[in-house]
Amino acid sequence: MGLVSPDPFPWNNSHAPLVTDWIQIMSNAYRLVQWNKHKKVYDLTLIAFLLVYLTSFVGIGMLLFPSPEEISLPILLIRAFGTCSIILLHVILAIGPLARISSKFNPLLYNRRHLGVIFFFVALTHALLVFMFYGGFGVENPISAVLIGSYRSGGIPYEYFGFVSLLIFGVMAATSHDFWLKNLSPSFWKSMHMSVYIAYAFVIAHVVFGVIQSEKNLLYPVMISSGVVLIASLHLITGLREFRRDFRFKMSSTQSPWVEVCTVDEIEPNRAKIVQIDTNERIAIFKDGCTLSAISNVCAHQNGPLGEGKIVDGCVTCPWHGYQYNASNGQSPPPFTEKIPTYEIRIEGNRVMINPNANEPGTPVKPAEFNPIFNAKPSEYDG
Amino acid sequence: MTVAGGRMNYISLTIIALAIYLVVGFLFAIAFIAKGARSIDEVAISTPLSVRLLLIPGSVLLWPKLLLIWVRK
């Protein structure tokens, strides 16, 4: 399925894919990878980083510890892949909140799936090296040998934390294709992939207990605690910003379901205002020409914040991956099949009224029309 | 048997159970990419084999969930 718009991403144009590079983003046929120039640059940059990091780590390690009795090459490799995977994991976890703080980070978010899969293979390489180095070539299978060996040693079996986190990351990497998103249902898929935070906690336990037992150098504890503080701070800042930014409204105590949420001139042209009524799902009210439409703020693809996107060629466009919807019916333009809930909307004078009871996904709703002369900022319609 | 010895048995049993789960999952995955994927998702009918092979790891890991979806279809 082709893109409806030649430029659906509200990113800085220097980061956006070129028009000539457009390939399918929303799809009515599965592909191995939906390559475009942006993704190729993203992946090549990532691979270059991996090569530079791994070779630098091993090279510097061999220079600092030339004797194999101090640190052997397999151990250097284990540490190189281990630290590299932890850095990638922190980048992955930081991208989400950074993109909420500034849209400049949206290009990083766009291809986060590839970053996640590459991260898994780096972590898997770390684990395979550990299993082969410490448990390989024995009577016992390498996994049992390492896990049982950690019990025999009498210390805290930190390998278990790493093993469980690797299993979680494995499930996430194996289900990263859009086929899984569609067939496991977006809500199940999203919940499953939110387990990255559980896996992150296991990774931290793996590193902390491992370092406590085997390292005297303060570098690793300082690095890992800085990472935890960074990730926690970014999520806290983003949560507070959203909490402050949200416009919350109470349902009317009368029989009327209509709730006044804003005035027409508060909404920028081709943009949305996001409101939340009681504890219901957030609603995005879009201004398209001289009409307003209200749809769910949650994209059917990966729960992206539609209200932070904009209208491109008549379609609401998700800022995360470019999925598009018609604001008046919550449906992706044919032949796409994605649907999101819509809401009844009307304008009284300059006041925008919403019925917070969501319609079934894809239900057409007549947009509310307004008079640009009376209802909008004069600057919007100058000339 | 000591506590440590008992734990070691649990570890071995867990790993064996995990291995059985994955072997069953692999057998299921072969059937799933041959037929199941196309019967639960019509978009997958026109999907080339190379893409369906990409579904093997997910099918191996999530085979009970997929079996339920397939049976309900």
Q: What is the DSSP string of A74-96?
A: HHHHHHHHHHHHHHHHHHHHHHH
Q: Which of A124, A140, A148, A185 to mutate to test the interface with B (most CBs of B within 10 A)?
A: A148
Model confidence at A233: pLDDT above 80: yes
As a whole number, mean pLDDT of residues A279-294 equals 90
Taking the CA atoms of residue A333, residue A337, residue A338 and residue A342 in that order, the dihedral angle to the nearest 10 degrees is: 70
CA distance A182 to chain B (A): 9
Model confidence at A12: pLDDT above 70: no
As a whole number, mean pLDDT of residues A360-378 equals 82
A99-154 confidence digits (pLDDT tens): 888 878 888 887 888 999 999 999 999 999 999 998 877 777 788 778 777 666 67
**CB proximity B40 to A under 8 Å:** yes
> Which of A143, A174, A184 is opposite residue B15, by nearest beta carbon?
A143
What are residue A324's phi and psi, to 5 degrees?
-125, 150
**CB proximity B37 to A under 8 Å:** yes
DSSP symbol at A5: S
- Among the listed residues A291, A240, A283, A288, the one whose alpha carbon sits nearest the alpha carbon of residue A261: A283
Res A21: pLDDT: 35
Model confidence at A352: pLDDT above 60: yes
In percent, the amount of chain A with pLDDT more than 70 equals: 86
Res A13: pLDDT: 38
CA distance A85 to A4: 37
Model confidence at A308: pLDDT above 90: no
| Residues on chain A touching B46 (C-beta within 8 angstroms) | 29
Q: How confident is the model at residue A4 (pLDDT cuts 50, 70, 90)?
A: very low
CA distance A30 to A132: 37
CA distance A298 to A294: 12
> Which of A28, A173, A177 is opposite residue B43, by nearest beta carbon?
A28
A207-223 confidence digits (pLDDT tens): 998 887 777 778 888 88
Q: How confident is the model at residue A155 (pLDDT cuts 50, 70, 90)?
A: confident
Q: Answer yes or no: do B4 and A152 touch at CB < 8 A.
A: yes
Res A108: pLDDT: 86
Strands A310-312 and A259-263 come out as unpaired
User: How many H helices and E strands in chain B?
Assistant: 5, 0
Question: Can you give the residue ranges of every domain in chain B?
Answer: 3-72
Model confidence at A23: pLDDT above 50: no
- Among the listed residues B17, B39, B20, B42, the one whose alpha carbon sits nearest the alpha carbon of residue A29: B42
Least confident of A4-8, A32-36, A65-69, A297-301: A4-8
- Nearest residue in A to B15, CA atom: A144
Model confidence at A252: pLDDT above 80: no
Res A377: pLDDT: 57
ipTM of the complex: 0.89
Pick B18 or A371 by higher pLDDT.
B18
Model confidence at A331: pLDDT above 90: yes
B13-53 confidence digits (pLDDT tens): 888 999 999 999 999 999 999 999 999 988 888 788 888 89
Q: How confident is the model at residue A14 (pLDDT cuts 50, 70, 90)?
A: very low
Model confidence at A53: pLDDT above 90: yes
Do residues A179 and A30 lie in contact, with contact meaning Cβ atoms separated by under 8 Å? Answer: yes
